[in-house]
Amino acid sequence: MDLSDIRKKIDTIDFEILKLLNRRMEYGLRTKRFKKGITDEKRESEVIDYIRKHSQGLIEPEFCKGLFMQVIAEGKRLQGEDLKLIGFQGEHGAFSEIASRLFDPGLICISCDEYREVFEAVDSGLVHYGVIPVENTLGETVPDVNEFLVDRDLHISGEVKLPIKYCLLALPETDPREIRVVYSSRHALSQCQRFLAERGLEGRPYYDAGGAAKMLLRERPKGSAALASRFAADFYNLAVLNEDVEDHHGNITRFLILSKSGGREGNKCSIVFATEHKAGTLFRVLKEFADEGINLTRIESVLNRDDPGNYLFFVDFHGSIGDEAVLRALDRVRAMSRLYKFLGCYPEA
């Protein structure tokens, strides 16, 4: 190991420290909802005592104390600002995070393990917004998301349409000829099968595409790469070996932006309803939109788990909640439905 090798390792450690500090600040922002004020002297003392106790090796306890006093001060500064948080499912680098940034670059993106956690965080006020994928141009949907849309009292405040482009990522020092294994989510691996097969690469499922990129940075396995977004490459300081490796180019995923209180009015609306299980009832409901000249942009049916054998219908259409034609159609649809929920009026992407 020479000086250059040592400095590369130091750079890697510094990069990880910065990411961990950012992660710590994200959790600090989450605590704001549970506190009466920003300063909590008892908690600060507990943190400093913990740091002193666990200061081991070369680092002096007093140095660690001073360092973490600055970390605490920076966390309090951030909590004092009027920052808006948006929750997304997955590790940083996920396409959902990219969609969040496209919706509003000023939002602070908060990673959530599951879609349920995103809904719960918005519902409880832990974050101001949530972002969820609902469909893509390949005809794929996210069933759990539809259920949560029905169960939770949240509103759609916007939408984002994002082209899904995968990249082959590796550590900067990796020789591409040595790569044998590629990690990513099952979903990503299935969308890049042709690329992997042509190069004789083994696709190895990982819990999350962004998580696979994060794992490369932390564990640095030899002969390995990841399939993830270009944003993930920048976020985890990885090299982009190949771009646009997905089998189906032009795949676009539609994301919904959720909020507790709704947002500004727009030119698109979404509803969900269930009808009587009788012949012709769905036709009669949809005819109400046609009679008012309202253009439907999405119709999706999912099994209603609370009413076995029946379906829930998700419908998106052009129009504003302020349009008389829309109000007339929705009044009649509501009267004809066993279950009805207006999900939101928002600007079309």
Q: Which residues are catalytic?
A: 253, 255
Query: CA-to-CA distance for 93 and 97, rounded, in angstroms?
Result: 6
Contact 238, 248 (CB under 8 A): no
What is the number of residues in the chain? Answer: 349
Give the bridge partners for 108, in sequence order: 85
Contact 294, 318 (CB under 8 A): yes
Query: CA-to-CA distance for 176 and 199, rounded, in angstroms?
Result: 11
Query: CA-to-CA distance for 252 and 310, rounded, in angstroms?
Result: 30
Beta-sheet pairing, 181-184 with 202-205? parallel
